[in-house]
Structure 1
Amino acid sequence: MAPPKIVILTGAGISRESGLHTFRDADGIWARHRIEDVATPEAFARDPALVQGFYNARRAQLRDPSLRPNAAHEALAELEARWPADFLLVTQNVDDLHDRAGSKRLVHMHGELAKARCLHCAAVSHAPGDLTAETPCPACGRAGGMRPHVVWFGEMPLEMERIGAALEGCDLFVSIGTSGAVYPAAGFVREVRHRADTLELNLEPSEGSHLFDEARHGPATQLVPAFVREMLAKWG
């Protein structure tokens, strides 16, 4: 019997134990900021300085020397490295903790905070520091068009064709640390549930927890390494 083809979806809950705030908790980022003010194309057109300031603060968190991938990020990187079949890790997170942990077969469907995209030439550049209206594009040299390379509300997530193909061919879908409230990611389990095994690993039941074949609840740093050990013991 061949090992299953795997698609894993991760959300903010997997990075919370590394010290990053989630967006939807009672003390989360959206409790302190209106989406309409900082996370839409219209907000950027209306007040680019406010939006840049919001994301500059988020980006500063990534530069904190104490911020590191946790055991859940590291376990998923190990699973990918040792998995003998198709594997795709899809993250809704704009942080780079999966990358730092060593994940390669990885899609950042909501973009990457440490990158910027030029509105003039569409080039995507590495941008770990602050962005301002004066920041020039490394590709075309023009200033005034560098925006955070993140998917705002009302915009289409990235690499949806690649994600869709992986979902269509997968045998196992695992959702980790997600609220089940943000589409299209929240709909992935519905796409695969009748043709693939489905598993939720979350701190508490998500909004779509009832759609999964199995749900395990607790800290990601405990659940994810345990899941990876199970999979590698059977198939690795």
Structure 2
Amino acid sequence: MSSNRKPLVAILSGAGISTDSGIPDYRGPNGLWRRDPEAEKLVTYDHYMADPDIRRRAWLMRRDSETWRAQPNGAHHAVARLERTGVPVRVITQNVDGLHQLAGLPARKVLELHGTARAVVCTGCAARSEMAEALDRVRAGDPDPACRACGGILKSATVMFGQRLDPVVLTDAVAIAKGCEIFIAVGTSLQVQPAASLAGMAARHGARLVIVNADPTPYDDLADEVVREPIGTALPALLDAIVQERGRRVTG
């Protein structure tokens, strides 16, 4: 590996990093999309925009989401701890739960590929506001709260099925994947594109690729290391080892 590579750790996090916090894996064997295929319509843009009943059901799902009760777990805290040691780190997350930031990782160091569940956006005027305020309106009896600015349809600030990723966020993620020294894919099946392709991109550009996931992924053959241990213990140990290795470089 070239000695002039920027010593940046990139972490691609998927649903598996948040399951210990009580947030289900929607795509796993027991995930919501497997258990209730109809539920997928609630997060499909065309269905959501066309059907008021879908929107009302979606707002109830948001109101009752485990996200609001969830707290960062040991894996989230380990990433924030890594950042505090001075190791340059960036997180690219497929999650919309905001737990990396709640654990103390600066928001500017988190790229949310699929947006955030903690905000809402108007599909008409693009005004953004807090999800908490919209949910207060739902609890007060408004089943489908409209935009206060223009009366348009509100949706969570997440990327629904049928919507494109934010091109700016994706461009930044690609730059990080191409420029990092170590790329850690954690809790992700690496099957959803274009996020999954970032792992291969990092490996092709010389990064050390580490995959931490319970099940095999399409990129395991490219990885320098594949870890099948529970994320809550495996990721902290892995990140602690990176800090120690960096310390030996500095003092060596």
TM-score (norm 1): 0.89
1:143-154 equivalence runs, <5 A: 143-154=151-162
* CA deviation map 1:147-169 (0-9, x unaligned): 11111123222311111221221
Per the alignment, residue 102 of structure 1 pairs with: 104
Q: Distance in 1 between matches of 2:63 and 2:101?
A: 15
Structure showing the higher helix proportion among its residues: 2
Contact 2:10–2:92 (8 Å) recurs in 1: yes
User: Which of 9, 13, 33 matches 1:10?
Assistant: 13
Per the alignment, residue 163 of structure 2 pairs with: 155
Secondary structure, aligned partner of 1:192 = helix
Q: Distance in 2 between matches of 1:167 and 1:59?
A: 35
User: Which of 64, 68, 80 matches 1:63?
Assistant: 68
1:52-201 equivalence runs, <5 A: 52-54=56-58, 56-60=60-64, 61-64=66-69, 67-85=70-88, 87-104=89-106, 105-128=109-132, 129-130=134-135, 134-137=144-147, 141-158=149-166, 159-194=169-204, 195-201=206-212
Computing the radius of gyration over CA atoms, which structure comes out larger, 1 or 2? 2
Per the alignment, residue 220 of structure 1 pairs with: 231
* CA deviation map 1:185-217 (0-9, x unaligned): 111112121221110011232232222121111
Secondary structure, aligned partner of 2:227 = strand
Greater CA drift, 104-113 or 157-166: 157-166
Displacement of 1:36 after TM fit? 5.4
RMSD of aligned alpha carbons: 2.1
Count, aligned residues: 231
Secondary structure, aligned partner of 2:76 = helix
* CA deviation map 1:113-137 (0-9, x unaligned): 1111111211222112536665243
What letter corresponds to residue 145 of structure 2 in structure 1?
T
Q: Distance in 2 between matches of 1:108 and 1:57?
A: 21
Greater CA drift, 148-157 or 11-20: 148-157
Q: Distance in 1 between matches of 2:231 and 2:60?
A: 27
Secondary structure, aligned partner of 1:23 = coil
Greater CA drift, 21-30 or 126-135: 126-135
Structure 1: state its 5+ residue gaps: none
Structure 2: state its 5+ residue gaps: 248-252
What letter corresponds to residue 148 of structure 1 in structure 2?
S
Greater CA drift, 12-21 or 26-35: 26-35
Secondary structure, aligned partner of 1:185 = coil
Residues 59, 178 of structure 1: alpha-carbon distance in 2 compared, 3 angstrom cutoff: farther
Contact 2:46–2:162 (8 Å) recurs in 1: no
Contact 1:49–1:133 (8 Å) recurs in 2: no
Greater CA drift, 218-227 or 52-61: 52-61
Secondary structure, aligned partner of 2:188 = coil
Q: Distance in 2 between matches of 1:63 and 1:187?
A: 30
